Amino acid sequence: MEETSVQPAHVHAPPEGFIRKHVFSLDHKVIGKQYYGLALVAVFMGMTLSWLMRFHLVWPTAKVPGLDLLSPAGAPGGIITPEYYLSLLTMHGTLMVFFVLTNAPFAGFGNYFLPIQIGAEDMAFPRFNMMSFWATLAAFLVLVLAFFIPDGPPISGWTAYAPLSAVGKDAGPGLGWGQSLWAISIAVFCIGQLLGSLNFIATTLDLRAKGMTFMRMPICTWAWFITSCIALLAFAVLLPACLLLLLDRMAGTSFFIPSGLVVSDRLQNHAGGSPLLWQHLFWFFGHPEVYIAILPAVGIVSHVLITSMRKPMLSAKVLIYSMLSIGFLSWMVWGHHMFVSGMNPFSSLLFSFPTLTITIPATIITLIWLGSLYGANIQITSASLFALGFVSMFVSGGVSGFFLAQPSIDIYLHATYFVVGHFHMVMGVAAIFGILSGTYFWFPKMSGRMMNETLGKLHFWITFVGTYCIFMPFHYLGIVGNIRRYSSFVNDFMAPLMPLHKFVSIAAFVTGAAQFIFLYNLIHSRFRGKPAPDNPWNATSLEWSIPSPPPWDNFGGKHPVIYHDPYQYGVKGSKGDFVMQDSPEQLASG
């Protein structure tokens, strides 16, 4: 259509009433906060599950008061059974990967800030955006429902490997309805993320303000855009995989279940399926998922660091190109999760090469950060501390990935605590640090109040030291052969490692407890925090040009015009230390 349509003043009318404003809201900012709130609930649930697991690992015969009420079969008398340990492990992984690491940095912050940073009034499809959140919430509730059914949650891990995840309750506790709920939950989650990604992409392509060229977008906007492209393709593959899994489970098909499979002394009535097919489909999603979790954090951290350093990155363009390269390469490496799956060994080599290649853009990004930080007079705030912590975790966790990317080494380290340490540091904790950095940075804009910096710094130091105390020993444990997923090591060859496990568990309890400092700070500051000015960090991007918190239509009916690149700090000839993107001030070139 060539015609210009008559456009309404805004993509949706001003919300009226509590339900439209805060519950079924079309406003991207409310939806962003809803995603963040859901992630907050999920992260504390996931953390509690990890506490239970760490408790059981070092005190396997001790009772957990009240747990038998939740699951009489899984924790008779409050003592966790090995099977229930696996249930906790599955739910921990699923909650954290899907409902925390995807929800908060990507869907949460992305929803809130992407439209504002490009000068848009809202997302391209506000209704799809609302549906995206409610689908995600429904997925969360379906998943959590698994705790309350007699069968309990599934025991197959967050990867739900076939064929045991496909054959039903014969395969073990939680693999009846628990596993079905898991697959339904993830399928619905995929639909939510597809709608969200579609919105992010269309909004970035088409709703940028006048003058907002692609290279003028802040680095975090770029990160959300690249992530949404990855998520669109990744969840579009996981959704069919979940549908096929559900068909195997409920309709008697044999996509993933091989012939002659005997489980619990019963011959399964399936034939010809391929368990490896599930692994291929799952990891084709699963590895890009790592970047769905980490790239938004890379963007957020870069944004925070630049603002704290008061100078541009060495090369923001190269950083953006590196993120694009990581996004591109993420599609070629899924097989590195399957080195010991029985795949052709030559395939392992093919997957190993691009995996090792990813270290090049990742190293470039790290060097840009370090080179920019060198000699910078960085302002130490809670946000910048967590950003620096992210860089540390990204490097520490990334280095171990170099070992795991090589099949010959991975064969030894596979399914040990080394792998657990690697992905927790580089994907889990690093992304959490990115989320926390973003929270301390953007909270004033989102709530109109400042967070308590003293509590923030206390939170950082306990979390930073604590996470190293938890996850660095994992690498040592893995190298000496400590197998993952086992529920106790008391009476076997791994018993000598128990003192180290006790240290890790105590560190986990302390680090977890420190997160309540954050929760207190978040809630207290929301209601009693010092009122925030519009631009407390003297930052340059568009979100800081509008009131804190922003009005429902973001720019109060005005259409921002963009004159500058996103990070104009310490510019010669400028009247101040920084120049906002929408400031018409003329700058001297160079």
Partner 1 sequence: MATTTYSPTDSQPRLVGRDRGSRSGIWVGIFAITMSFAAFTSALYVRQGSGDWAHIVLPGIMYANTVILLISSLTMEMSRRTIASSWRSGVRERGGAWPWLAATLVLGLAFVSGQYLAWRHLAAQGLYLATNSNSSFFYVFTAMHALHLLGGIAALIYLMGRCAGSHGTVRPILFHNTAVYWHFMGVLWLYLLLVICTRL
CB 434 within 8 A of CB 442: no
What stretch of H or E contains 266? strand 266-267
Tell the smallest beta-carbon distance from residue 439 to partner 1 (Å): 26
Residue closer to partner 1 (CB basis): 91 or 209:
209
Tell the smallest beta-carbon distance from residue 544 to partner 1 (Å): 18
Residue closer to partner 1 (CB basis): 274 or 392:
274
Tell the smallest beta-carbon distance from residue 270 to partner 1 (Å): 9
Nearest 5°: CA angle at 125, between 558 and 207?
A: 45
Tell the smallest beta-carbon distance from residue 316 to partner 1 (Å): 5
Tell the smallest beta-carbon distance from residue 219 to partner 1 (Å): 10
Tell the smallest beta-carbon distance from residue 128 to partner 1 (Å): 8
Give the pairing type, strands 568-569 and 262-263.
unpaired
Conformational region of residue 535, where left means phi above 0, alpha means psi within -120 to 50, and beta covers everything else: beta
Residue closer to partner 1 (CB basis): 52 or 230:
230
CB neighbour class for 262 (10 Å; exposed up to 12, middle 13-18, buried from 19) = exposed
Residue closer to partner 1 (CB basis): 237 or 431:
237
Residue closer to partner 1 (CB basis): 17 or 272:
272
Tell the smallest beta-carbon distance from residue 290 to partner 1 (Å): 18
Q: How far apart are CA 385 and CA 255, in angstroms?
A: 48
Residue closer to partner 1 (CB basis): 150 or 252:
252
Q: How far apart are CA 361 and CA 323, in angstroms?
A: 7
Residue closer to partner 1 (CB basis): 232 or 472:
232
CB 228 within 8 A of CB 197: yes
Q: How far apart are CA 149 and CA 16, in angstroms?
A: 39
Tell the smallest beta-carbon distance from residue 288 to partner 1 (Å): 11
CB 540 within 8 A of CB 312: no
CB 108 within 8 A of CB 42: no
Residue closer to partner 1 (CB basis): 12 or 485:
12
Cα four-point dihedral sign 91, 94, 99, 105 = positive
Report which of 2, 32, 28 is spatially closest to residue 15, judged by C-alpha positions: 28
